[in-house]
């Protein structure tokens, strides 16, 4: 037998397998470049084009009706407060319900039938298109005028956003609590704590930073949603002046972008770019903050 080992074991770049290997590596790196290209393009356009329209007037003025004044379109102030208020309403509803539901899943019924069903249900709810949440709230609240006779309102918009936040919060709470070691629970029971004390003093604090990551991500998603708002909160050009105003139409950044992007007037389009600058900056910072909390865990010393 002729063992020409030296020749056979040398890397030979002209072999078909090695050429194919190299070609596939190049293709996959091209795919990776194509995949991040949209992010780079969108972010740079939004930051440069949108950022150039940002000034104090844009931030605080109310938007003018389209076509009224071709030179100035006012500002996006009411939309910023509207987005803030509706996200706040959505958080007030969905954070307690979501965290409570997650506590039930992780602490009371780890693998019961009802818990399995709730987990399945929250996965399904997470997959429900956001516009369906809008349709649902329209049929439930807006068209029936069930909330003190108000039709399109900020509160209806907030409720429809809360439906979108709910599954994310339940899921992250459930998973965060499941990661808390059982030793902590047994130790708490061992020194005579009741289940409520155990949850509120031991497991929730231990899982706090993971839960807040999930809540921030859900908030970021809700603040950018448009579809559920276009026929629940509609749009308003005015600042809210009193508490009662949340029962009337309310503007939001995302609906402002949608409405003004399709206007034929240049000044309105500029407002849309300015609004998307604010929205993208806020949402990206929320996302980066949530990542940071997840890795560093600022809120609790005994992170698990």
| Of residues 172-201, those binding other proteins (CB under 8 A) | 194-197, 199
Q: Does 51 bind other proteins (CB under 8 A)?
A: no
**60, 287, 299, 304: which one contacts other proteins (CB under 8 A)?**
287
- Give CA–CA dist 304/302, Å, rounded: 6
Alpha helices per DSSP H over the chain = 5-9, 16-45, 51, 56-60, 77-103, 113-127, 130-137, 154-179, 182-190, 195-198, 204-206, 208-224, 253-261, 266-296
**80, 161, 163, 206: which one contacts other proteins (CB under 8 A)?**
163
Let me know the angle formed at the C-alpha of 73 by 67 and 76, rounded to the nearest 5 degrees.
130
Task: Yes or no: say if 269 and 277 are a contact pair by the CB < 8 Å rule.
Answer: no
Number of neighbouring beta carbons within 10 Å of residue 79: 29
Q: Does 240 bind other proteins (CB under 8 A)?
A: no
Q: Does 269 bind other proteins (CB under 8 A)?
A: yes
Looking at 32-40, 58-66, 175-183, 295-303, which segment touches other proteins (CB under 8 A)? 32-40
Looking at 63-71, 137-145, 178-186, 202-210, which segment touches other proteins (CB under 8 A)? 137-145
Q: Does 292 bind other proteins (CB under 8 A)?
A: no
Q: Does 300 bind other proteins (CB under 8 A)?
A: no
Q: Would you say the C-alpha torsion 260, 266, 271, 273 has a positive or negative sign?
A: positive
Reference 88, options 148, 173, 150, 162; nearest CA is: 162
Task: Yes or no: say if 224 and 258 are a contact pair by the CB < 8 Å rule.
Answer: no
Q: Does 63 bind other proteins (CB under 8 A)?
A: no
Q: Does 145 bind other proteins (CB under 8 A)?
A: no
Site map (CB under 8 A) of other proteins, residues 86-125, x = contact: ----------xxx-xx-xxx-xx-----xx-xx-xxxxxx
Q: Which CB atom, from 55 or from 194, has the smaller least distance to other proteins?
A: 194
Looking at 69-77, 204-212, 220-228, 236-244, which segment touches other proteins (CB under 8 A)? 220-228
- Give CA–CA dist 63/44, Å, rounded: 25
Write down the least CB distance from residue 301 to other proteins, Å.
25
Q: Which CB atom, from 27 or from 298, has the smaller least distance to other proteins?
A: 27
Q: Does 204 bind other proteins (CB under 8 A)?
A: no
- Say if residue 245 is exposed, middle or buried (CB neighbours under 10 Å; 0-12, 13-18, 19+): middle
CA 175 and chain centroid, separation: 18
Q: Which CB atom, from 62 or from 119, has the smaller least distance to other proteins?
A: 119
Write down the least CB distance from residue 241 to other proteins, Å.
25
For residues 232, 73, 52, 261, the Cα torsion angle rounded to the nearest 10 degrees is: 40
Number of neighbouring beta carbons within 10 Å of residue 29: 10
**272, 274, 293, 303: which one contacts other proteins (CB under 8 A)?**
272
Q: Does 48 bind other proteins (CB under 8 A)?
A: no
Write down the least CB distance from residue 236 to other proteins, Å.
14
**48, 92, 139, 298: which one contacts other proteins (CB under 8 A)?**
139
Q: Does 153 bind other proteins (CB under 8 A)?
A: no
Q: Does 73 bind other proteins (CB under 8 A)?
A: no
**61, 284, 289, 304: which one contacts other proteins (CB under 8 A)?**
284
- Give CA–CA dist 301/205, Å, rounded: 9
């Amino acid at each position: 037998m002729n063992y020409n080992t030296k020749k056979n074991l040398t890397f030979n770049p002209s072999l078909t397998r090695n050429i194919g290997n190299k070609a596939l590596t190049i293709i996959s790196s091209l795919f990776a470049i194509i995949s991040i290209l949209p992010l780079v393009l969108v972010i740079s356009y939004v930051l440069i084009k949108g950022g150039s329209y940002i000034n104090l007037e844009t931030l605080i003025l109310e938007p003018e009706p389209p076509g009224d004044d071709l030179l100035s379109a006012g500002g996006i102030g009411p939309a910023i407060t509207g987005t803030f208020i509706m996200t706040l309403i959505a958080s007030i509803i969905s954070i307690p319900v979501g965290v409570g539901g997650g506590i039930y899943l992780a602490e009371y019924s780890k693998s019961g039938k009802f818990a399995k069903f709730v987990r399945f249900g929250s996965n399904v709810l997470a997959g429900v298109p956001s516009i369906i949440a809008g349709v649902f709230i329209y049929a439930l609240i807006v068209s029936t005028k069930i909330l003190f006779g108000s039709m399109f309102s900020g509160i209806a918009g907030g409720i429809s956003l809360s439906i979108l936040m709910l599954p994310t919060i339940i899921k992250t709470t459930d998973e965060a609590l499941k990661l808390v070691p059982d030793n902590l629970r047994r130790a708490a029971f061992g020194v005579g704590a009741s289940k409520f004390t155990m949850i509120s003093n031991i497991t929730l604090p231990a899982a706090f930073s993971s839960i807040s990551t999930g809540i921030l991500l859900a908030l970021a998603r809700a603040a950018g949603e448009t579809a559920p708002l276009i026929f629940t909160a509609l749009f308003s050009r005015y600042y809210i002046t009193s508490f009662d105003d949340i029962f009337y139409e309310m503007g939001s950044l995302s609906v402002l972008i949608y409405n003004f992007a399709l206007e034929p007037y240049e000044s309105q389009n500029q407002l849309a770019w300015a609004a998307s600058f604010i929205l993208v900056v806020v949402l990206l910072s929320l996302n980066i903050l949530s990542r940071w909390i997840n890795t560093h865990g600022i809120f609790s010393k005994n992170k698990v």
